[in-house]
Structure 1
């Protein structure tokens, strides 16, 4: 298993992971997904098992202080093998940020294993 920065060739694997998680936004428009994953201020990394994308993390950052983990997924067949942690540890320095904020409704135990502070939060849908 290896972790590397996202490239266009990884897009089908990232989209497949999103579909398996029931996340329709990226798979709905592959060109838009690639544009988002490579936008200025974005860090996207993938976990590879050979040529197969088995995980990815997508973070947005100001490059100095703040980053936000927007999406992260690891394939169900590869979970509990340290891939999620490896993705975050690889991506964090690439963002240039001092901290990473995130929202989760399914992985509290995973994220609680990192040094952290817990805050109440909201997601606004304009």
Structure 2
């Protein structure tokens, strides 16, 4: 597995189709690529044999004080191999100088992030599920 911190040399075609597993209305591959392009920080897991991106984490930041991690995804056939943990660890290391690093996750995932050095807290959210596939251009 190769871990990259930018999209340099990565094309839309290298994004495996297994991302957003279980989402009823996932982003298209083009919108997925735009998500990565528009992120402040990104880490990618690339399978050296297939040259496909099989995992990613992204962060959005003001580059001064705060960062937010909206997505961590590893395609199902690559899960349980430590890829997600490696991506989280690399992102948290990159963000270590920020005052505030936040993310939202389901309660059953809180222990996973606690093991990566994060704390459970409360928060608020709003979801527009009719826009789950992405904002139109």
Whether the TM-score (by the shorter chain) exceeds 0.5 is yes
2:89–2:116 Cα contact (<8 Å) kept: no
Aligned residue pair count: 123
1:49 corresponding residue in structure 2: 47
TM-score (norm 2): 0.71
Cα 1:92–1:112 shift into 2, 3 Å: closer
2:103 corresponding residue in structure 1: 102
2:19–2:75 Cα contact (<8 Å) kept: no
Kindly report the root-mean-square deviation, in angstroms, between the aligned alpha carbons of the 2 structures. Answer: 2.7
Structure having the larger proportion of residues in helix: 1
2:88–2:116 Cα contact (<8 Å) kept: no
1:73–1:84 Cα contact (<8 Å) kept: yes
Runs of 4+ in 1 over 6 A off after TM superposition: none
The 2-side partners of 1:23 and 1:2 are apart by 30
Q: Which moved more, 1:56-65 or 1:16-25?
A: 16-25
Which sections of structure 2, spanning at least 5 residues, go unmatched? 129-137
1:55–1:83 Cα contact (<8 Å) kept: yes
1:17–1:73 Cα contact (<8 Å) kept: no
Structure of higher CA gyration radius: 2
Cα 1:61–1:15 shift into 2, 3 Å: farther
Structure having the larger proportion of residues in strand: 1
TM-score (norm 1): 0.76
Q: Which moved more, 1:88-97 or 1:101-110?
A: 88-97
